[in-house]
Structure 1
Amino acid sequence: MGRAGAALWGRRARRRWVHLVLGGALLMPYWLLASVVLSPFTETGGPFGGSVAAQFAAYALALPPAAVTAFFPLARPLSVAAARALCGVPAERYADGPAASRTARARTACWFTLHVALGGLVAGASLALPPFALVTMALPFSAELRASAAAAFWGLDDPWWVVLGVPAGLLMLVGLAVASAGAGALLARQAPVLLGPTPADRLAAAERRAAELAVRNRLARELHDSVGHALSAVTLQAGAARRVVDAPEPDLVFVREALTAIEETTRRTVAELDAVLGLLRRDDPDADAAADGAAAGPGLEALDALLAHSGLRVVRDPAAGPAGPLPERVSREAYRIVQEGLSNALRHGGAAPVALRLRAADGELEVTMENPLTGRAPVVRPGGGRGLRGVAERAALLGGSAVSGPARDGTVWRLSVRLPLAGGRR
């Protein structure tokens, strides 16, 4: 009994009733217009004149123009806002934004028509039926009321109403509650179907999520490569400087160079970190603009400064190197790949020298880095282990490839990356 009462008069039922009454209010302008159109064909003119049949004819005539107006794109967000607040359906089951496709507009029109159609009936019954039910319930207690002209008009002057007045009135009120609850439940079932996302909406949402994920991955790679390399280089330089200072005869020149390298590395990294954090502060970043902005860091033109303060001895192949300017995007990605390769060499090879070769030929840039495998335990830093995966992602974004692993019978570690030059012009 308690559950039945809650279904008929509970908070959710009351909110759905309000939603239905709102639909009746939205139908009113269309109904008034239809009544005016039909007034010349009824016995009494005016929107409130005529028989009950004329009123229902105006009601039926009002629904088609209501459906037509719901084809406007902004009808969906307005309907969704009302349904979210009053229908008791989880908010995530509704679509967001104006209806962009023909299917979405047709669904919205169906919803709006159903809403105003049921709302007009429930709102009209809510206005007329409670007073009539109260009068019916009062018949057994008032002879004057039973003898009135209104009672005679509605056939309530029959003696049986003395017995049936109270239960009939209560039955009318319960019937109104049942009808309202049923109409509200019907709207709640149809709301996700008619106001939910269409396949086109789901595709657009998936594309937005993919773009946002691409931007997040891009920022993560930038932070990992820039900050991760800096931490590895600074750790190595600081450790070497400490050991030299603690030596019986400290080499102050070496310590000064190590501190200078630490200073230059941290300064460069702070500048790169500010650039990336600036993207995170943007109010509404666009995926492509954010990706380009995040990549607007140093390119191969800054490679000499990177190698000079990397904490490693880097041997470059003098016979190799780009013959001319590279596409900006390829240059930036190549810089980050070299940076991650140096960071990886620092962690696994310590101070062992690194061989670097850059060669642009046959429409692609080849980056090859090799360092001896010393067998020493790598320097572990929190959050590490994603560098080589980031290198592969950078290469894949340009349509290239990355291969890494032991080479030369396991004596060296080789990182080989190929970047199509055409990939930087897209």
Structure 2
Amino acid sequence: MDQEGTTVGASGFGGGRAAGAAAVKRWPGLLLGARARLRWVHLILGGALLMPYLMLTQVVVGAAAGGVNVFASLPLTLLSYAASLPLIAVTGLVGLVRPLSGTAARVMTGVPGDRLADGPARSWGARWRASAWWTLHLGVGALISGMSLAVPPLGVVLVVMPFSGALRASAWGAGRFSAEAEPYVSPLIGAGVLLALAAVCAGAGALLARLAPVLLGPTAADRLAAAEERAADLAVRNRLARELHDAVGHALSAVTLQAGAARRVLDRDPEFVREALAAIEDTTRRTVGELDAVLGLLRDGDPARADAMPAPTLAGDLDGLLARTRAGGTVLTAEQDPGPAGDWSQLPAIASREAYRIVQEGLSNALRHGTGPITLLLRVHTSDDHRELEITMTNPAAPSPPAPDAAAPRTTGGRGLRGAAERAALLGGRVEAGPHAGSWRLRAVLPLGGGAGPARGGAR
């Protein structure tokens, strides 16, 4: 029992000794490592930034003291330093102080970037915190700068004093150390002074690094603004994804159908083959243009320009879409009723654009999964204070898969119909898709507002 206790005690003693040795090994890095040196430079920069304020207050203090040279008086210099701090605090209220200080702290103090705010201060609370940081950085930096200028020469003199008779005979050494202690005490004091300077600088740098997230970190308003910005960016990117899916998906479906129809009648109906190839050429050309526009926005990293991207509409592109669909041999019956306006160009631009994409997705879905002719109805319903566009598309539904394949995973994912529902929801409308009276029906209703008016390209 005693032997076991002795063993455990020895093990604990050895572990404590190892931890102590590791801590001793860390001290040089904490005092003189790369991060400590970079934080020291950060403090020196703060002292340099304080100099204009100090020079201004020295002029005022010197004039108030009757024209005394402030540089020759330590009390007046300290008074000028104290008088400069309120002036620094006032200038720290400028909104740009926070991002500039945050960038410097992020680079030079080792604070993770996500813990510091990026943009200017949006509230007075954030401004006051940034002002406190600005005052602390410049105030402490000035003290560290002064110590960095005065302490190293003193430490070096004390270290080399035993080896220089001139220093021993000077005011620095006369009567301060006995002859017996002189070879030992003076260098130890000098080394201690230099070590104390390193410790003070490292401690001040660590203190600023700890306070940086508190004084320069994002506020609740900053987090809300960042969340709104991310949400807006995500919404635009989702729109670009829908545009890409609808354009490319419809093009692939149409081109596949047209190519297959042309191959089947290649020998007996050359005229139909020419029409199908012309439709394939037109479809691919248009799709390549849309694909290039979307990829250009994503590549440039500026999805906010998505509203400026040209998009097809009912007014200018519906007839071409129907013609290209028929070119593949699909029987498509379309009935269009723009209402009293008599022209699709009178629709709001965003409604015309989203309606075109919904029709395009409905045709793509019918081409991929349908088995017969397609019937399309576009009609504007008008009342005294309300207008809405109704889109109805029906086609014979594909037969249900056999039982063994019923549990097979879907390969299409249904993203097209979800995208159509999202487009309608953006306008306050709705989309219904599913079996209806023995066929497959896609029905969308898009509100158009009150009175009729011409389309506006800048509508959001």
| TM-score interval, smaller chain | 0.7 to 0.9
SS at match of 1:149: coil
SS at match of 2:449: helix
- In 2, the alpha carbon distance for the partners of 1:292 and 1:86 equals 40
SS at match of 1:204: helix
SS at match of 1:48: helix
Equivalent residue letter for 1:394? R
Q: 1:295 to 1:365 in 2, by over 3 A?
A: farther
Aligned to 1:188: 209
- In 2, the alpha carbon distance for the partners of 1:112 and 1:229 equals 58
Per the TM alignment, residue 262 of structure 1 is displaced from its structure 2 partner at its CA by 1.9
Equivalent residue letter for 1:165? S
- In 2, the alpha carbon distance for the partners of 1:353 and 1:138 equals 102
Equivalent residue letter for 2:92? A
- In 2, the alpha carbon distance for the partners of 1:5 and 1:283 equals 45
Q: 1:400 to 1:159 in 2, by over 3 A?
A: farther
- In 2, the alpha carbon distance for the partners of 1:273 and 1:364 equals 31
Matched, 1:10 2:33: yes
Matched, 1:119 2:113: no
Aligned to 1:268: 286
SS at match of 1:135: helix
Which string of whole-angstrom CA distances, capped at 9 and with x for unpartnered residues, describes residues 216-264 of structure 1?
A: 222221121122111101101111221223xxx6233332332233233
- In 1, the alpha carbon distance for the partners of 2:259 and 2:77 equals 90
- In 2, the alpha carbon distance for the partners of 1:346 and 1:157 equals 101
Q: 1:204 aligns with which of 215, 218, 225?
A: 225
Equivalent residue letter for 2:418? R
Counterparts of 1:239-250 in structure 2 under 5 Å?
Answer: 239-245=260-266, 250=268
Aligned to 1:399: 428
- In 1, the alpha carbon distance for the partners of 2:400 and 2:255 equals 19
- In 2, the alpha carbon distance for the partners of 1:232 and 1:173 equals 78
Aligned to 1:66: 88
- In 1, the alpha carbon distance for the partners of 2:309 and 2:52 equals 54
- In 2, the alpha carbon distance for the partners of 1:210 and 1:160 equals 76
Which string of whole-angstrom CA distances, capped at 9 and with x for unpartnered residues, describes residues 83-109 of structure 1?
A: 222111223332223334323322221
Which string of whole-angstrom CA distances, capped at 9 and with x for unpartnered residues, describes residues 294-320 of structure 1?
A: 3632324432221122132122347x5
Aligned to 1:306: 321
Which string of whole-angstrom CA distances, capped at 9 and with x for unpartnered residues, describes residues 170-211 of structure 1?
A: 111111111110000011111222222222222222222222
Per the TM alignment, residue 127 of structure 1 is displaced from its structure 2 partner at its CA by 0.9
Which string of whole-angstrom CA distances, capped at 9 and with x for unpartnered residues, describes residues 263-297 of structure 1?
A: 33223334444554564576856x3xx34323632
Q: How high is the sequence identity, in percent, across the aligned residues?
A: 57
Per the TM alignment, residue 399 of structure 1 is displaced from its structure 2 partner at its CA by 0.9
Q: 2:248 aligns with which of 227, 231, 253?
A: 227
- In 2, the alpha carbon distance for the partners of 1:309 and 1:30 equals 74
RMSD: 3.0
Q: 1:19 aligns with which of 15, 20, 42?
A: 42
Aligned to 1:414: 441
Q: 1:306 to 1:125 in 2, by over 3 A?
A: same
Q: 1:160 to 1:124 in 2, by over 3 A?
A: farther
Aligned to 1:175: 196
- In 1, the alpha carbon distance for the partners of 2:178 and 2:60 equals 39
Matched, 1:336 2:357: yes
Per the TM alignment, residue 138 of structure 1 is displaced from its structure 2 partner at its CA by 3.8
- 1:225–1:340 Cα contact (<8 Å) kept: yes
Matched, 1:356 2:376: yes
SS at match of 2:72: coil
Q: 1:417 to 1:254 in 2, by over 3 A?
A: same
- 1:272–1:297 Cα contact (<8 Å) kept: no
- 1:279–1:293 Cα contact (<8 Å) kept: no
Aligned to 2:307: 292
Matched, 1:258 2:276: yes
Which string of whole-angstrom CA distances, capped at 9 and with x for unpartnered residues, describes residues 381-425 of structure 1?
A: 9876411111011001111111111222xx211111111102996
Aligned to 2:98: 76
Segments of 5+ residues of structure 2 without an aligned counterpart are: 1-23
Q: 1:17 to 1:104 in 2, by over 3 A?
A: same
- In 2, the alpha carbon distance for the partners of 1:284 and 1:414 equals 38
Segments of 5+ residues of structure 1 without an aligned counterpart are: none
- In 1, the alpha carbon distance for the partners of 2:377 and 2:64 equals 92
Equivalent residue letter for 2:426? L
- In 2, the alpha carbon distance for the partners of 1:33 and 1:161 equals 47
Matched, 1:135 2:135: no
SS at match of 1:421: strand
SS at match of 1:418: strand
Q: 1:235 to 1:418 in 2, by over 3 A?
A: same
Matched, 1:90 2:108: no
- In 2, the alpha carbon distance for the partners of 1:381 and 1:243 equals 29
- 1:77–1:97 Cα contact (<8 Å) kept: yes
- In 1, the alpha carbon distance for the partners of 2:177 and 2:278 equals 107
Equivalent residue letter for 1:326? L
Matched, 1:45 2:74: no
Matched, 1:315 2:339: no
- In 2, the alpha carbon distance for the partners of 1:381 and 1:90 equals 43
TM-score (norm 1): 0.87
- In 2, the alpha carbon distance for the partners of 1:37 and 1:237 equals 87
- In 2, the alpha carbon distance for the partners of 1:278 and 1:129 equals 59
Q: 1:145 to 1:391 in 2, by over 3 A?
A: same
Equivalent pairs, count: 412
